[in-house]
Structure 1
Amino acid sequence: MKKLGFDKWIVVITVTTAALLQTIDSSIVNVTLNQMMGNLGASLGDISWVVTGYAAASAVMITMSGWLTAKLGRRNYFAASIILFTIASIFCGTSTNVWELVFFRVVQGIGGGGLLTTAQSILIQTFPKEDLGIANAIFGLGVIIGPSIGPTLGGFITDNLSWNWVFYINIPFGILATFLTYTYIKEPAEKMLAGKMDWLALVLLVMGIGGLQIILEKGEEKDWFDSRFIVGMSIAAGVGLIGFIWRQLAVKLPILDLRLLRQRRFAVGTLFNFILGFGLFASVFIIPVFCQTILGFTASQTGLLLMPGSIATGMMMPVVGGLMSKNYISPVWYAGIGFLLFFGFCFDLSAISLAAGPDYFFWPLIIRGIGMGLIFIPLTTVTLADLKNIEIPQGSALTGMIRQLGGTFGTAIMTTYISTRTMFHASRLGDNVSTYNPLSVDRIRQYTSLFLSKGDALMAATSKAYGIMQGAVMKQALVMTYADAFLVIGGFFLICVPLLLLFIGKKIEAPAHTEMVME
């Protein structure tokens, strides 16, 4: 088969740049929220909508990207998403109050939601199957590395410039990606069919996905179902999701073709994409939080801590892509090894303690990085292998939406788990701090003597001594909680290994290449 030559690598650079814009921006603002609150005079509840609004809008647009690709054309929709994302970034950076910023973050999410899934379908429909592994490998860097470097990059920019530059940094990359899109990305010869806009389905989709995203983002803050707001959102999300599923199965040309789930491999692969999103975002969430809040690492130290694992993923992607192009073994085996390695990473960190330093994380994060490299490309190949070329944009949209929801579920579940599990461990450890425990009595006596020697009165010294003991108990409870959290995440990946047998069937090949319409 004829190679695409230099142009194919430009396509890879284009879609990878767009993928990085979306994945980095989903997490880069997290470390700038405090500065935004001060500059914009916002409360924590107000500023959190900067994150929630982007995530909800992005999830809705990921779901619609297959239909919009068919309606507008692959190149036009991809370019429009980049342009909208870039323009919204400008207005985010120039916002003068929090609700103006939230509005433009929603607009930015509308643009960003179309980038990942459209980029993936462009690669699959552009490359011959013998080159697809390498192409997916390079593209996977944007998906895997983006969430890891986002907080570090955001912290560096905030410390040295201001929060506004978290958005301004998107502008040159957006302009470059737009130029490359119109210059090198072509439309496929085979055109997808798209029906008229189903406004009822769109309303149900916004209710369902938007409501679910808000529940997961705000549930812990609002005390879950003790809040009328969360109960109302739950009802709206349930009605929206059930109604949307019914609507998509009832119409001939749906916004999101759920009938693709009738194909066993695609359905199983979609489930695995949920678990991949869960593990990727949950681990990226809890490691920086643990290192900075418990071990006292700076944002820069945490970023350097995560870097070797990201490099390991980057090195593995081309290796796995090259091996898959040789068809030595089934992609399912690569994914299985990757899931086992990810479990090994989580199991290793489940023994973490307050004595852990940067060196402690090095090899576990290397193992995680290698595991991610082994999972992403084979999972993508297996999931989309049985789809017709014309079905790939819809398939990519569905798996992308599920992976996004997996990440949101992972972050929300880990947040709730850490909160409740910490109280459990603190209660058990606190039972040992009493006048009936000689060790705790001796420790309190030592602390009390220390404060008395500094001139404190007896009652004040005793109060401070108990305060130190309670702080030590809480800190140890947090360490035990994070250790448990790593085991929970690892358990999800371990369960996946036997479930990979569901992929067994006819020989798995990369989706067929579609010849491009040359202009």
Structure 2
Amino acid sequence: MSSPNTPHPPLQPLTGGKLVLGTIALSLAVFMNVLDSSIANVSIPAISGDLGVSPQQGTWVITSFAVANAISVPLTGWLTQRFGQVRLFITSIILFILSSTLCGLAPSMEVLIAARVLQGAVAGPMIPLSQSLLLGSYKPSKSGMALAFWGMTTLVAPIMGPLLGGWISDNYTWPWIFYINIPIGVFAAWATWSIYKTRETATRKLPIDSIGLGLLVVWVGSLQIMLDKGKELDWFNSGQIVILTAVAVVAFIYFVIWELGSKHPVVDLSLFKSRNFSGGVIAISVGYGLFFGSLVILPLWLQTQLGYTATLAGEVMAPVGIFAIIMSPLIGKLLPKVDARWVASAAFLIFAIVFFMRSAFTQNVDTMQLMIPTVIQGAAMAMFFIPLTSIILSGQPPDKIPAAAGLSNFVRIMFGGIGTSVTSTFWDRRTALHYSQLSEHSGPTNPAFTDAVHGLTAQGMSPQGAYAVIDRLMTVEASTKGATDIFWISAVLFLFLIALVWLTKPMKSSVPIDAGGAH
């Protein structure tokens, strides 16, 4: 155990069994963290039904975690200097286990959301510290491979989330989507402490930027509540939404001004002076927001409109892990030899192709048609996180690596929450528009409509029953068109992101990082 203000010699890379166990422990902690950002996606109908709220209100289970997580991630740098990265990492895991238990025990949606806020908050330091600890465990020349192992967990967890969430919801009860964190977390905490307890970083007392933190909470919280409540309150026709927007904008402006002038900022905005950091963060964040939005919409569409069970919806999403798992180590070996921008560009191109394929879905789509783009997407995911993370961290001095990892993850996670809210709102709007257009062509004056009614009544159905069947068909069709609109727009945006990648400086992706100490 290290003592405060004690100089620490440079840490040597781990070898043999310690390196393997350390990598597994850190990866499991990240897996557990990222898993909880997606595992509730396919379980929202079950959770909402059990707690007596609408599926739209149920999306707060996702966004509340994302917002709290986004707010807490930037605190990693200050907390690490105060408590040490190993102690902070272990504490985060233990508190995550406890908050997961509270989520499972929640008797109402209000309590569940409060528990998810706590869970997201304590999870904040886990991802950036896992990067720092993992990079410090490998030789600098092997940093690409370390990022590949780390990237595999961030890729597989969002995929396993819907599959596990669906299977648990269909075969057990939804609280178990949170209880499964307990054994994973206990093992990760024990293994991490066993390996890293002698690798604690130096600590020192620094004043926390309380004003900056307060402004951060205000603008991020206001923004997310505005995005989530906007569709429910009819956006800017609501005084509440107007106020939330104004508060978010003003708090954000003051936040930027204050942080740029603070001696001990809670968020080191000077990192954005680096072209690679700025371009990489924007690219990975927007791409993650588009990807995560589809993770919410696709299973919801399958369950609420096409009659899929939660398990089947999860199985449709699961094949994305095939190429992601196979290709991640290959990408880790390839990156030191090629320009990371080419790899990231290929990822965005594949994402665009996948979403163009999904934009052709109809309400009669079969399982094979659903799975083909999902399998292909796995290749894009393997080529997405690893090179962009490498670009973001390239050129940063060793003492800036944890701060850069924390800030980039903060922006990425925040965009994940924004992507969920914006995609959900846009889906509702486009569904309503398509339903209105379809309704214009229904009624007694439309021959096709009257033929359909006559056909149904001829089968012994009452006129009211026939109208209900046709209305349901129109709803499914409108919802499907709304979803495919989102997929098409996402495809176009992925193509635009390719240009953003090429605004960064040319580089080979091997990042010589000494991440033994956190900043």
TM-score scaled by length of structure 2:
0.90
Residue 466 of structure 1 aligns with an amino acid whose one-letter code is: Y
Distance change in 2, residues 1:35/1:420 (3 Å): closer
Does residue 154 of the first structure (1) align with residue 162 of the second (2)? Answer: no
CA distance in structure 1 between the partners assigned to 2:391 and 2:434 by the alignment = 42
CA-to-partner distance for each residue in 1:179-235, whole Å, 9 max, x for gaps? 122221267798687731121112111111122222223322332233333333223
> Helix, strand or coil: the match of 1:321?
helix
The aligned residue for residue 178 of structure 1 is 189
Deviates more, 1:400-409 or 1:34-43: 34-43
Does residue 500 of the first structure (1) align with residue 501 of the second (2)? Answer: yes
CA distance in structure 1 between the partners assigned to 2:238 and 2:318 by the alignment = 40
Does residue 415 of the first structure (1) align with residue 408 of the second (2)? Answer: no
The aligned residue for residue 472 of structure 1 is 473
CA distance in structure 2 between the partners assigned to 1:158 and 1:307 by the alignment = 16
Residue 20 of structure 1 aligns with an amino acid whose one-letter code is: F
Asked whether the equivalents of residues 347 and 381 of structure 2 are also in contact (C-alpha less than 8 Å), the reply is yes
CA distance in structure 1 between the partners assigned to 2:143 and 2:507 by the alignment = 20
CA drift of 1:346 comes to 0.6
Asked whether the equivalents of residues 120 and 396 of structure 1 are also in contact (C-alpha less than 8 Å), the reply is yes
The aligned residue for residue 273 of structure 1 is 284
Residue 163 of structure 1 aligns with an amino acid whose one-letter code is: W
In the alignment, structure 1 segments of 5+ residues that lack a partner are none
Residue 66 of structure 1 aligns with an amino acid whose one-letter code is: G
* Structure-to-structure mapping, 1:160-309, within 5 angstroms: 160-185=171-196, 195-309=206-320
Give the aligned length.
507
Does residue 137 of the first structure (1) align with residue 138 of the second (2)? Answer: no
CA drift of 1:85 comes to 0.8
Residue 424 of structure 1 aligns with an amino acid whose one-letter code is: L
Asked whether the equivalents of residues 67 and 256 of structure 1 are also in contact (C-alpha less than 8 Å), the reply is no
Asked whether the equivalents of residues 162 and 317 of structure 2 are also in contact (C-alpha less than 8 Å), the reply is no
Partner of residue 399 from structure 1, selected from 398, 408, 412 = 408
CA drift of 1:97 comes to 4.8
Identity %: 32
Residue 377 of structure 2 aligns with an amino acid whose one-letter code is: R
* Structure-to-structure mapping, 1:455-466, within 5 angstroms: 456=462, 461=463, 463-466=464-467
CA drift of 1:45 comes to 8.2
Residue 254 of structure 2 aligns with an amino acid whose one-letter code is: G
CA distance in structure 2 between the partners assigned to 1:99 and 1:293 by the alignment = 23
CA distance in structure 2 between the partners assigned to 1:171 and 1:473 by the alignment = 44
> Helix, strand or coil: the match of 2:364?
coil
CA distance in structure 1 between the partners assigned to 2:289 and 2:46 by the alignment = 29
CA distance in structure 2 between the partners assigned to 1:480 and 1:32 by the alignment = 23
CA drift of 1:266 comes to 0.5
Deviates more, 1:162-171 or 1:25-34: 25-34
* Structure-to-structure mapping, 1:379-458, within 5 angstroms: 379-451=388-460, 456=462
Residue 219 of structure 1 aligns with an amino acid whose one-letter code is: G
The aligned residue for residue 490 of structure 2 is 489
> Helix, strand or coil: the match of 1:110?
helix
Partner of residue 343 from structure 1, selected from 346, 352, 356 = 352
Residue 418 of structure 1 aligns with an amino acid whose one-letter code is: W
Distance change in 2, residues 1:402/1:445 (3 Å): same
Asked whether the equivalents of residues 345 and 368 of structure 1 are also in contact (C-alpha less than 8 Å), the reply is yes
CA distance in structure 1 between the partners assigned to 2:204 and 2:227 by the alignment = 34
CA drift of 1:479 comes to 1.9
In the alignment, structure 2 segments of 5+ residues that lack a partner are 1-11
The aligned residue for residue 9 of structure 2 is none
Does residue 16 of the first structure (1) align with residue 27 of the second (2)? Answer: yes
CA drift of 1:393 comes to 1.0
Asked whether the equivalents of residues 85 and 201 of structure 2 are also in contact (C-alpha less than 8 Å), the reply is no
CA distance in structure 2 between the partners assigned to 1:108 and 1:514 by the alignment = 26
> Helix, strand or coil: the match of 1:386?
coil
Does residue 65 of the first structure (1) align with residue 76 of the second (2)? Answer: yes
CA drift of 1:434 comes to 4.2
Residue 428 of structure 1 aligns with an amino acid whose one-letter code is: Q
Partner of residue 378 from structure 1, selected from 378, 387, 412 = 387
> Helix, strand or coil: the match of 1:352?
coil
CA distance in structure 1 between the partners assigned to 2:465 and 2:296 by the alignment = 33
Partner of residue 88 from structure 2, selected from 77, 82, 87 = 77
Distance change in 2, residues 1:503/1:189 (3 Å): farther
CA drift of 1:131 comes to 2.1
Asked whether the equivalents of residues 69 and 393 of structure 1 are also in contact (C-alpha less than 8 Å), the reply is no
Asked whether the equivalents of residues 56 and 214 of structure 1 are also in contact (C-alpha less than 8 Å), the reply is no
Asked whether the equivalents of residues 350 and 377 of structure 2 are also in contact (C-alpha less than 8 Å), the reply is yes
Residue 254 of structure 1 aligns with an amino acid whose one-letter code is: P
Asked whether the equivalents of residues 217 and 408 of structure 1 are also in contact (C-alpha less than 8 Å), the reply is no
Asked whether the equivalents of residues 41 and 299 of structure 2 are also in contact (C-alpha less than 8 Å), the reply is no
The aligned residue for residue 27 of structure 1 is 38
Distance change in 2, residues 1:424/1:93 (3 Å): closer
> Helix, strand or coil: the match of 2:94?
helix
> Helix, strand or coil: the match of 1:502?
coil
* Structure-to-structure mapping, 1:113-128, within 5 angstroms: 113-128=124-139
Asked whether the equivalents of residues 206 and 240 of structure 1 are also in contact (C-alpha less than 8 Å), the reply is no
Distance change in 2, residues 1:53/1:355 (3 Å): closer
Residue 447 of structure 1 aligns with an amino acid whose one-letter code is: L
Asked whether the equivalents of residues 55 and 213 of structure 1 are also in contact (C-alpha less than 8 Å), the reply is no
CA drift of 1:380 comes to 0.6
Residue 135 of structure 1 aligns with an amino acid whose one-letter code is: A
Asked whether the equivalents of residues 217 and 412 of structure 1 are also in contact (C-alpha less than 8 Å), the reply is yes
CA drift of 1:44 comes to 7.0
CA distance in structure 2 between the partners assigned to 1:263 and 1:390 by the alignment = 15
CA distance in structure 1 between the partners assigned to 2:383 and 2:77 by the alignment = 27
CA-to-partner distance for each residue in 1:24-65, whole Å, 9 max, x for gaps? 112323444555566666787876654443332211111222
Deviates more, 1:397-406 or 1:227-236: 227-236
> Helix, strand or coil: the match of 2:40?
helix
Distance change in 2, residues 1:508/1:153 (3 Å): closer
> Helix, strand or coil: the match of 2:494?
helix
Asked whether the equivalents of residues 356 and 488 of structure 2 are also in contact (C-alpha less than 8 Å), the reply is yes
Asked whether the equivalents of residues 162 and 318 of structure 2 are also in contact (C-alpha less than 8 Å), the reply is no
Asked whether the equivalents of residues 66 and 396 of structure 1 are also in contact (C-alpha less than 8 Å), the reply is no
CA drift of 1:241 comes to 1.9
Q: CA RMSD in A?
A: 2.7
CA drift of 1:261 comes to 0.3
TM-score scaled by length of structure 1:
0.90
CA distance in structure 1 between the partners assigned to 2:49 and 2:468 by the alignment = 30
Distance change in 2, residues 1:233/1:395 (3 Å): same
Distance change in 2, residues 1:166/1:434 (3 Å): closer
> Helix, strand or coil: the match of 2:503?
helix
Does residue 360 of the first structure (1) align with residue 361 of the second (2)? Answer: no
Asked whether the equivalents of residues 225 and 244 of structure 2 are also in contact (C-alpha less than 8 Å), the reply is yes
> Larger relative contact order (C-alpha < 8 A, sep ≥ 6)?
2
